[in-house]
Amino acid sequence: MSTNTDANQGGNGGQPPVKLTRKDFVSDQEVRWCPGCGDYAILAQVQKVMPELGIRRENVVFVSGIGCSSRFPYYMNTYGFHSIHGRAPAVATGIKASNPELSVWVITGDGDALSIGGNHLIHAIRRNLDINIILFNNRIYGLTKGQYSPTSEMGKRTKSTPFGVIDYPLNPLSVALAAEATFVARSVDTHTQHLQMIVQRAMEHKGVSFVEVYQNCNIFNDGAFDMFTARDVKEDRMIELEHGRPLIFGKERNRGIRMRSDMHLEVVELGNGVSESDLIAHNEKAPDSYLAYMLARMEYPEYPVPVGVFRDVQKSTYEDLLTEQVERAIQNMGPGDLEGIINSGDTWVIE
Amino acid sequence: MESMTILNNVEDKHIEELESVTIRFAGDSGDGMQLTGTQFTKTSAIVGNDISTLPDFPAEIRAPAGSLPGVSGFQLNFSNHDIRTPGDEPNVLVAMNPAALKVNLADLEPGGILLVNTDAFSDNNLKKAGYGSNPLEDGSLTGYRLFKLPITTLNRAALRDEVELPPKEIDRCKNFWALGLMYWLYDRPLEPTMNWVNEKFKKKPDVVKANVTALKAGFAYAEAAEIFTTHYRVRKAAIAPGKYRNITGNEATALGFVAASVLAGRPLFYASYPITPASDILHELSMRKNFGVKTFQAEDEIAAVCAAIGASFTGNLGLTGTSGPGLALKSEALGLAVMTELPVVVVNVQRGGPSTGLPTKTEQADLLQAMFGRNGECPVAIVAPATPGDCFHMAIEAFRIATRYMLPVIYLSDGYLGNGAEPWRVPAMDELPRFEANLYKDPDNFQAYARDPQTLARPWAVPGTPGLEHRIGGLEKQDITGNVSYDPENHMHMVETRAAKVARIADDIPELEPFGEREGRLLVVGWGSTHGSITSAVEEMQGRGRSVSSVHLRHLNPFPRNLGELLGRFDRVLVPELNMGQLWLLMRAKYLVPAISFPKVKGKPFKISELTAKMEEVYED
Ligand code: SF4
């Protein structure tokens, strides 16, 4: 059975459940990712955050494409649609535009979203539908057993690139920002608290939310992010973005990011004449996305890798504008009159 | 105006009665021939003729002026009796430039009326059209009744003192001058077109005046000048009583889907990517937002079908529209709709293929694509309207089937139906079918793939309904529960179940009624837009005393129940199609009948004469 009708849930006359817990969002399906896969951690955080958000299970839809991450909807005890490769943003667009009341989530991967589905991703983002897109980036094709992906590093040896990758990788956040995403964030599968916070922020944002999660594929690309996400190095090699706060990082909190006069970001040591006020203060609400874009381009080892919310701005959503057009049309033309339109135009009567 | 004075002083000229007339207006794409043709059509419909039209325009938006690829044509047939086609050969050709003459002359009937704008026959234009010498002077047109008129000059003279418009704008009115002349020649009133101009350009009084003046001037010139001694009258046709309007197939398709939404009580969601010749449906539906219709111009064909599927998942009538190349792109997603058993309708306004092919020409060559063009065993229901007006009814039928059986339906129109117009008897509200498209609500023992015993449909359970949370997708489903299943027996069972759903539709659609006797020598089987020409040809054969009947399929998958039995009642079966024999192939495979194919793939509909000739040949064989 793929449904769960326990006492707290549906079939209670449409009344909100007393209080949902993580368990209410766990479906009865056996989870089939490889043991140790980063997907488990992401699933657990999403299931934890869901009850906090106060949305009712029946109003939630998880949509996915194809790939390891796209199994996700089967494990959520909500509505779910496991669609076809790359097309989840398009299916989600139809769902959200036709029923704006629903909380719609797209679960996708680096291959699904950036390769076969790249077109749908940028257009769903530019339309600013109020949907939440979570891209599990493991920099590899897992389900097809280990070919390089559009986020794999140059030179990487994989099943399909025995002599090394020769195409330059895409940066998912750069793509999202170029498509004018109104909410852009990044987190890491193993940083559970941070990931929960980011998922919650994405949900709360009205408009499209794009979240990249660094996800470890322990079978085909194990440790891809360890170099900077591992517990013992992360404070020195990552930087957590916080709105309004200067960009400081390091175990000793003694390093920061400064803008040079040639518009280049540089890592500086605090002290010796460099103070916090010389550093960039993060502004996720900036109406333009230049700063977010520059931050998104910071890569290890030249820079600490940023996580957090890069951008969070407001503009009208596609579904609201569409609903408005419908309502205005009804106001201006009156509710649709079928007999009227069938009989419109030049008509004549044959006796 | 000088010419008006003359008009009043001239006695009425001789009037000759005609049964029916076929006119083709042809000119450069910039000459406004489509508009001229549509106006003539509307006026003829309003005066009570039966009409049928065939627009023929180039794929290029603006091919080089005066060139052969830039020629745009509009053919219409108007008659005092029931007609079903735009006519085989024009009786009259209006050629606004040498290229239009070159492209269209071969179709004009011997001795037909040929009206040319001599002003456009400059050396340069003749060269562009590939004429070595001027056909107006070299005697090559002696087989026709040639009328040489300096239309550009006459139009300029008429407008010069009347309106303050730049010369270019004045010249743009020359098509209305020609239209006015044709109105005189065929005894039509000017009012319907004048009303249209007044409405269309109400914010530009100068343009209204210019067009009306040109129209009247053309009319007056024909009346006054010495060149025409006769004009013609085509009386009203005996058409079934009722209220009529002119409608193109694409308009009727759009209206039909709005009607389906109203009748089903479910909102319509139309997702589409612009493509010739289907875009008009998007334009039409985007104006219908007050019906709660949502239209979505997607980033590509795949996104369009996926969004329609998403909308069906939430309980909307999910609709997408395209032409052949777009259907190819939608294949994989259609498989998803088959697997998830959602009611999605895909409109394919077919055009000439393969690949980009002949985008503005008509063809019926996507039947097999609709039938088989997906991976795996992946049947969908297929319907095909027979006439522009029938597009309305089949649109409703498509959603009736989709929602009742919970499966995707492909709706095969084509360029000829989509752009062609006919007078359409407006149905009364109580003539429209009602159908229920209810959402499932009951959470007790809900199973996502539980089946209706009669239709095998699964419940339409949509997000937002408490207690029905479930997951669907493209992976094979276990019957009843809807869980993912890799079980071999289950897969075979599900393949058979999905096929059985389509097959059971046959119990729910009308049996075929032959046009003519129920048995005999020759049965002609057609589908889609060939209805008009096949029926007219069969009627002609019957008039010759031949034992010929026809049936026309509006449901292609499944076939109507009695098709096989009817095939057995005739000595010969002929299948004319605008493809290389696709229905023919399906029928032979299913019924093992030695049917004969009559293919045509020239981007043009059948001529009645082509069909009767073939019927005679098969008949005697
Ligand atoms: S292949 Fe990699 S990404 Fe896929 S489930 Fe296994 S560990 Fe996870």
B199 reaches A (C-beta below 8 A): no
User: CA dist B141 to A112, A175, B25, Å?
Assistant: 64, 64, 18
B258 reaches A (C-beta below 8 A): yes
Distance of CA B614 to the CA centre of its chain: 24
B426 reaches A (C-beta below 8 A): yes
Residue that is written with structure tokens 């991976």 in the block: B375
A75, A220, A221: residue to mutate for ligand 1 pocket, most atoms within 8 A of CB: A220
State the CATH number of the domain containing residue B373. Answer: 3.40.50.970
Name which of B275, B224, B264, B227 is nearest B116 in CA terms.
B227
φ and ψ at residue A88, rounded to 5 degrees? -55, -40
Name which of A298, A248, A306, A241 is nearest A277 in CA terms.
A248
Same domain, B230 and B256: no
User: CA dist B541 to B63, B150, B521, B529, Å?
Assistant: 42, 44, 12, 20
Which tens digits make up the pLDDT trace of B140-163?
A: 999 999 999 999 999 999 999 899
**Chain B, window 261-290: residues with a beta carbon less than 8 angstroms from a chain A beta carbon:** 262, 267, 269, 271, 288-290
Judging contacts by C-beta atoms under 8 Å, the chain A residues touching residue B340 are 81
Substitution target from B245, B422, B471, B476 for chain A, most A beta carbons within 10 A: B471
Return the beta strands (E) in B298-404 as ranges. 317-322, 344-350, 381-383
Q: Which protein residue's CA is at the shortest distance from atom 2 of ligand 1?
A: A217
Residue B370 resides in a domain: yes
Q: Which protein residue's CA is at the shortest distance from atom 1 of ligand 1?
A: A142
CA-based nearest distance B83→chain A, Å: 16
Same domain, B190 and B216: yes
Secondary structure (3-state) at B464: coil
Q: Which amino acid is at B465?
A: T
Residue B52, CB-side half-sphere exposure with 13 Å CA sphere: 26
Spatial distance between the Cα atoms of B572 and B621, rounded to a whole number of angstroms:
9
Q: What is the mean pLDDT of chain B?
A: 94
Task: Tell me how far the alpha carbon of residue A158 lies from the centroid of ligand 1, in angstroms.
Answer: 15
Domain tally, chain B: 3
Which residues lie closer than 8 Å to B90 by C-beta, 6 or more apart? B22, B23, B24, B75, B104, B107, B108, B109, B112
Judging contacts by C-beta atoms under 8 Å, the chain B residues touching residue A77 are 469
Judging contacts by C-beta atoms under 8 Å, the chain A residues touching residue B259 are 338, 342
pLDDT above 80 for B62: no
- Written as six digits, the tokens of B596 are 């004969």
Residue B467 resides in a domain: no
End-to-end CA distance of chain A: 62
Between A90, A322, A347, which is nearest B298 by CB? A90
Query: What is the predicted pLDDT for the residue at B240?
Result: 86
Taking CA–CA distances from B445, the nearest residue in chain A reads A5
Query: What is the predicted pLDDT for the residue at B206?
Result: 93
Instruction: Supply the ipTM of this predicted assembly.
Output: 0.94
Taking CA–CA distances from A320, the nearest residue in chain B reads B294
User: CA dist B129 to B103, B124, B153, Å?
Assistant: 9, 9, 21
Strand order in the sheet with A248-249: A248-249, A255-259, A265-269
Beta-bridged to residue B116, according to DSSP, are: B95, B148
User: CA dist A247 to A197, A275, A282, Å?
Assistant: 19, 11, 7
- Written as six digits, the tokens of B19 are 């049964």
User: Where does a domain end: B210, B234, B258?
Assistant: B234
Residue that is written with structure tokens 């039947």 in the block: B367
User: Quick check: B289 and A329 CB within 8 A?
Assistant: yes
Burial of residue B61 (CB within 10 Å: 0-12, 13-18, 19+) is exposed
**Global confidence as pTM:** 0.90
Which tens digits make up the pLDDT trace of B1-33?
A: 233 333 333 455 788 999 999 999 999 988 999
User: Where does a domain end: B203, B234, B265?
Assistant: B234
> Any idea what DSSP says for residue B484?
B
Same domain, B176 and B260: no
Please indicate whether residue A220, judged by its CB atom, sits closer than 6 Å to ligand 1: yes
Task: Please answer whether residues A304 and A237 qualify as being in contact, where contact means their C-beta atoms are separated by less than 8 angstroms.
Answer: yes
Q: Which protein residue's CA is at the shortest distance from atom 5 of ligand 1?
A: A33
Between B296, B443, B462, which is nearest A97 by CB? B296
Task: Please answer whether residues B406 and B341 qualify as being in contact, where contact means their C-beta atoms are separated by less than 8 angstroms.
Answer: yes
pLDDT above 80 for B620: yes
User: Quick check: B303 and A90 CB within 8 A?
Assistant: yes
Judging contacts by C-beta atoms under 8 Å, the chain A residues touching residue B332 are 84
pLDDT above 80 for B417: yes
State the CATH number of the domain containing residue B557. Answer: 3.40.50.920
Please indicate whether residue A109, judged by its CB atom, sits closer than 6 Å to ligand 1: no
Judging contacts by C-beta atoms under 8 Å, the chain B residues touching residue A335 are 290-291
Task: Please answer whether residues B17 and B39 qualify as being in contact, where contact means their C-beta atoms are separated by less than 8 angstroms.
Answer: no
Please indicate whether residue A34, judged by its CB atom, sits closer than 6 Å to ligand 1: yes
Between A82, A328, A341, which is nearest B471 by CB? A82
Spatial distance between the Cα atoms of B569 and A274, rounded to a whole number of angstroms:
98
Which residues lie closer than 8 Å to A94 by C-beta, 6 or more apart? B269, B271, B296, B306, B307, B308, B309, B310, B311, B312, B313, B314, B318
CATH level 3 topology of A5-224+316-333? Rossmann fold (3.40.50)
Query: What is the predicted pLDDT for the residue at A16?
Result: 53
Same domain, B138 and B46: yes
A144, A217, A225: residue to mutate for ligand 1 pocket, most atoms within 8 A of CB: A217
| Local confidence pLDDT in tens for the 351 residues of chain A | 344 433 333 333 444 554 899 999 999 999 999 999 999 999 999 999 999 888 899 999 999 999 999 999 999 999 999 999 999 999 999 999 999 999 999 999 999 999 999 999 999 999 999 999 999 999 999 999 999 999 999 999 999 999 999 999 999 999 999 999 999 999 999 999 999 999 999 999 999 999 999 999 999 999 999 999 999 999 999 999 999 999 999 999 999 999 999 999 999 999 999 999 999 999 999 999 999 999 999 999 999 999 999 999 999 999 999 999 999 999 999 999 999 999 988 788 877
User: Quick check: A58 and B246 CB within 8 A?
Assistant: no
Which tens digits make up the pLDDT trace of B357-380?
A: 999 999 999 999 999 999 999 999
Task: Please answer whether residues B314 and A58 qualify as being in contact, where contact means their C-beta atoms are separated by less than 8 angstroms.
Answer: no
Residue B98 resides in a domain: yes
Chain A, chain B: beta-carbon pairs less than 8 Å apart: 247
CA-based nearest distance A333→chain B, Å: 7
A71, A107, A138, A159: residue to mutate for ligand 1 pocket, most atoms within 8 A of CB: A138
Task: Tell me how far the alpha carbon of residue A107 lies from the centroid of ligand 1, in angstroms.
Answer: 15
Task: Tell me how far the alpha carbon of residue A51 lies from the centroid of ligand 1, in angstroms.
Answer: 27
Same domain, B381 and B359: yes
Secondary structure (3-state) at B584: helix
Task: Please answer whether residues B131 and B102 qualify as being in contact, where contact means their C-beta atoms are separated by less than 8 angstroms.
Answer: yes
CA-based nearest distance A53→chain B, Å: 16
Beta-bridged to residue B322, according to DSSP, are: B348
Secondary structure (3-state) at B270: strand
Residue B515 resides in a domain: no
Taking CA–CA distances from A59, the nearest residue in chain B reads B464
Query: What is the predicted pLDDT for the residue at B12?
Result: 59
- Written as six digits, the tokens of A296 are 């998104």
User: Quick check: A94 and B475 CB within 8 A?
Assistant: no
Neighbours of B399 (CB within 10 A): 28
User: Quick check: A348 and B48 CB within 8 A?
Assistant: yes
Which tens digits make up the pLDDT trace of B184-240?
A: 999 999 999 999 999 999 999 999 999 999 999 999 999 998 788 889 999 988 888
Spatial distance between the Cα atoms of A208 and A131, rounded to a whole number of angstroms:
5
Identify the domain containing residue B568 by its residue range: 520-620
User: Quick check: B192 and A342 CB within 8 A?
Assistant: no
Spatial distance between the Cα atoms of A339 and B76, rounded to a whole number of angstroms:
29
Residue B505 resides in a domain: no
Closest atom of ligand 1 relative to the A32 alpha carbon: 5
Between B240, B300, B313, which is nearest A95 by CB? B313
Same domain, B15 and B47: yes
Spatial distance between the Cα atoms of B42 and B482, rounded to a whole number of angstroms:
54
What does the pLDDT average to over B499-509? Answer: 97
Substitution target from B289, B341, B476 for chain A, most A beta carbons within 10 A: B289
User: Where does a domain end: B399, B431, B463?
Assistant: B431
CA-based nearest distance B316→chain A, Å: 7
Query: What is the predicted pLDDT for the residue at B297?
Result: 98
State the CATH number of the domain containing residue B46. Answer: 3.40.920.10
Same domain, B27 and B90: yes
CA-based nearest distance A310→chain B, Å: 26
Element (H or E) spanning A241, and its range? strand A238-241
Neighbours of B149 (CB within 10 A): 21
Task: Please answer whether residues A90 and B322 qualify as being in contact, where contact means their C-beta atoms are separated by less than 8 angstroms.
Answer: no
Residue B462 resides in a domain: no
Task: Please answer whether residues B146 and B114 qualify as being in contact, where contact means their C-beta atoms are separated by less than 8 angstroms.
Answer: yes
Is the C-alpha dihedral spanning A229, A231, A233, A239 positive or negative? positive
Task: Please answer whether residues B18 and B52 qualify as being in contact, where contact means their C-beta atoms are separated by less than 8 angstroms.
Answer: no
Distance of CA A96 to the CA centre of its chain: 16
Please indicate whether residue A138, judged by its CB atom, sits closer than 6 Å to ligand 1: yes
Name which of A301, A225, A303, A313 is nearest A264 in CA terms.
A303
Residue B464 resides in a domain: no
**Chain B, window 521-540: residues with a beta carbon less than 8 angstroms from a chain A beta carbon:** none
